[in-house]
Structure 1
Amino acid sequence: MPAPGTTPARALPRRAATAKASALALGVLLASAGCSGAPSAAPAAEKPGPANPAAAVTAEPTPDLPPGTITLAFGGDVHFTERTAPRLNSTPADPALGPISRTVASADFAMVNLETAITTRGSEEPKLYHFRTPPSALTALKDSGVDAVSMANNHAVDYGPAGLADTLDAVHHAPIPVLGIGANEAEAYRPYVKDIRGVKLAVVAASQVMDLTNDKFRAGPEKPGIASALDPAKLVAAVKRAKAEADVVVVYLHWGTEGQSCPGPEQKSIAAKLSAAGATAVVGTHAHVMLGSGMRGSTYVNYGLGNLLWYGTSPYPHSNDSGVATLTVAHGKVVKQGFAPAVVDNRGVPVPQDGAAGKAVTDRLASLRGCAALAAGPR
């Protein structure tokens, strides 16, 4: 297919929270300016984070935000296979997610869906598509500014019990938190909790997709697997527990129907339940196209983030439309929402768009709000 436009996005303020974000933004800025010569050496590997996904971590201050305010960023489906496999060999000048990493890294907290098993072993499950990647995928995403990933999806256990065992081992030694999968249901549903300048953020992940993974590999009391949204009571209970200890609660779901740009009744139903349980934001992926986003009362809902870093073309209209959704949350309420438009190019990389090309993506996204029954909300 022809390569989409490659107009670079306007520079965004770098997150002052970590040296990683500053180095990343500088590297991408140099790359988009057309620097030549050998790429900079990759930074030294950091020690893995805590194995417990609920362990709290603290970010450094961001001077330009008022007290009680944090920023969030969400991207869609990501994996490293076929045309995206070379992105595992990313550099500071060309991170795995490409120039849109600036938008990701500038948020206090950023998250994507990693739609793959993390293994080199196992046997393919009886399904059409199978994805797997080495543990270095988590480091590549961390180096792109991602702070956590969900693995509550229909490809997390593509390579059976052996692949699941490898995945869980990678999760427990990961450089960033991995949500929605665990050695048992308590671990799979457990929120990741992070303190950002005195604002406590909690994130829960689950899959609502009815498929082999959600049937055969759903986590149980003593069974490893993914967190399921097909049991709404368990997910709602997890959100209520998160709300009891956090100021801001995000639920990241795998849901919807592939190729359908309007949410189904099952999505609207669970979104209503999660909003009533206290979710600040409900975001999700799976359809390989973008769905509408906006406000459901005081809860921000994004029914479909689309593909972000994707191995091939999807047979659905506008499946290359992409981007990163951004939120500003003050004192537990969403006060601003935004969207950095992108188009997935022939490398599978989301290329930021501005001008007429960017407006085309954002206008089409806005047109989907009606069938999603969401309000435009704060700007």
Structure 2
Amino acid sequence: MSSLKLMAVGDITLQTKNDQNPFKYVMDTFGKKDLLFGNLETVLSTTGKEKKKSVVLKASPDSVTYLGEAGFDILNVANNHILDLGLEGFRSTLNSLDEHKLEYIGAGFEKSSLNSSFIEKNGIKLGFLGYTIGRFKVPEEISISKIKEKKIISDIELIKGKCDFVVVSLHWGTENVFYPSPKQIELAHKLIDHGATLILGHHPHVLQGIEKYKNGLIAYSLGNFQFDCKLSQSSTNDSIIFCVDFDKNGIIDFRIIPITIDENFVPILAEGKVKEKLLNFISQISKLLIDKKITNKWWFEEIGEEYLIGNVNSYITRIMKYGIIPLFECMIWFLTPFCIQCYIGILRKNTKSFLYQFNVL
């Protein structure tokens, strides 16, 4: 029976030190794929008005050739950096991908665009959809698919009859946190219930667990892949190539190829104890999903401090760059319901730690 090997990787910026080929150490591995997916976390443009953000990600349009040479077949562009250089940067990015015949999902030139793509290899046809979180305003002339449950389910229903399996790319989650939220888990399950087979997550800049659910598979976060980890304030340079094997009946197997990102922002195959440690870590964080240990209270206890520190650092950078407006935004943010739940989670976690220390619990 025919089979198809999909390889998927996380965030890509195409920026390296000394303009090295960003994929030079993984080219041989990529050569074993039938399809290669990645999240393009950058704008391919040298012009356009920069957004007032703590981090703006941009690369030369010429760097798109690295994606072609590495064998990428499809890229997600629905993410929180696709408008970093405004409408001009957006158009340059999509034009560059079109010129090099690289498929993409999650955004388009037309407001009503479904932003899907279909690719057939070895007699197996996959349909791809891409979506992103973000409160940014989308210009009237274009479309960027936002994560809205009803819309995603509707899109899945619309395309699942036109392909063998539906792959959904989700730019979601909380940055630098190793666990998806209960709401993310619930949404992922619903999408598979309605016809998705594989969900590929990204945005947190760190790896998260992998879960089998019914006939589907969920990788909650593929982490950074080709990225300056300092930009994301990431505590790790661990990454993976996620390999999923399909046949006509569905997913037959998956495996993880451990990766580390070197000081030049280039991914390299992990070996020895580093490889073993990374595989054990993924197994550990995935077990929490399998055992259904991620509750709302537990999650806010685990992520509260990391979330608050990361966002405060981001606001400080913006305040230093742009002045008083980000300061007011920060003051409002401190009072949001999400932040309040983080404060409660931190208090609850510290209280438990104190009580355990004195053998009260």
TM-score of the pair, normalised by structure 2: 0.76
Instruction: Show the 5 A alignment for 1:1-379.
Output: 66-67=1-2, 69-81=3-15, 83-84=16-17, 86-87=19-20, 90=21, 96-187=22-113, 189-207=114-132, 209-212=133-136, 216-217=137-138, 223-229=141-147, 231-313=148-230, 314-317=232-235, 319-373=236-290
Indicate if the aligned counterparts of 1:138 and 1:175 stay in contact, CA closer than 8 A: no
Shift of 1:311: 2.4
- Which residue of 2 is the match for residue 21 of structure 1? none
Gaps of 5+ in 2: 293-361
Most deviating of 117-126 and 70-79: 117-126
Shift of 1:157: 0.7
Shift of 1:148: 1.1
Indicate if the aligned counterparts of 2:124 and 2:247 stay in contact, CA closer than 8 A: no
Indicate if the aligned counterparts of 1:75 and 1:323 stay in contact, CA closer than 8 A: yes
Q: Which has the higher helix share?
A: 2
Shift of 1:367: 0.7
- Which residue of 1 is the match for residue 321 of structure 2? none
Partners of 2:130 and 2:213 in 1: CA distance: 19
Higher relative contact order (CA 8 A, sep 6+): 1
Aligned residue type for 2:11: D
Seen in structure 2, the aligned counterparts of structure 1 residues 121 and 332 have a Cα distance that, compared at 3 Å, is farther
Partners of 1:264 and 1:99 in 2: CA distance: 34
Shift of 1:109: 0.7
Partners of 1:180 and 1:150 in 2: CA distance: 6
- Matched pairs, number: 291
Indicate if the aligned counterparts of 2:107 and 2:145 stay in contact, CA closer than 8 A: yes
Indicate if the aligned counterparts of 2:227 and 2:265 stay in contact, CA closer than 8 A: yes
Gaps of 5+ in 1: 1-65, 91-95
Shift of 1:84: 4.9
Matched position secondary structure for 1:315: coil
Aligned residue type for 1:198: G
Fraction of identical pairs, as percent:
25
Partners of 1:70 and 1:276 in 2: CA distance: 23
Aligned residue type for 2:172: W
| Alpha-carbon RMSD | 1.9
Report Cα offsets for 1:10-56 as digits up to 9, x if no partner.
xxxxxxxxxxxxxxxxxxxxxxxxxxxxxxxxxxxxxxxxxxxxxxx
Indicate if the aligned counterparts of 1:103 and 1:324 stay in contact, CA closer than 8 A: no
Aligned residue type for 2:134: M
Shift of 1:185: 4.3
Shift of 1:158: 0.3
TM-score of the pair, normalised by structure 1: 0.72
Aligned residue type for 2:246: V
Matched position secondary structure for 2:275: helix
Indicate if the aligned counterparts of 2:119 and 2:126 stay in contact, CA closer than 8 A: yes
